[in-house]
Amino acid sequence: MAVLTSAEVNEQVNLSYIRGTYKVALTFTTTDYTSTVSLATIAADEVTVGNGGYARLSYTYSAADLLAYSNGQPLAQKVATFVHDGSSTDMTFNYAVLLRDVSGTVTVVGFQKLAETIVLSNGNFATININILQGVG
């Protein structure tokens, strides 16, 4: 089996992640997601836009976000903070989902099931750290 060089992994990450806009979505489901989860499923499970002020948060990666190779190609940590707007509607979720939008084509990049169901209300907030390591060797 061949081993990819760190330069090749860096190039692949550059081509994969340094494009488009990433969006963090919050979902609630009683059925665990698998690696084949579809965008339609994510959209159906997503917190309703406006509930507690909910909206997807977005960010991008740049070449500066490619960190030094270390058992894979890490990207700089991004942070998504969802803040409840103080209204009477709660934000209830148990998954954070990472989506990528390239020229209007949205794909599911990954997801993380949270340790417990989160209910945001009364101006509370949730902070989600996004850490990606590509090509673990």
Angstrom distance (rounded) from CA 20 to CA 2: 31
Angstrom distance (rounded) from CA 26 to CA 93: 6
CB under 8 Å to 87, separation ≥6 — which residues? 52, 53
> Residues 49-97: pLDDT tens digits?
999 999 999 999 999 999 998 888 999 999 999 999 999 999 999 999 9
> Residues 99-115: pLDDT tens digits?
999 999 999 999 999 99
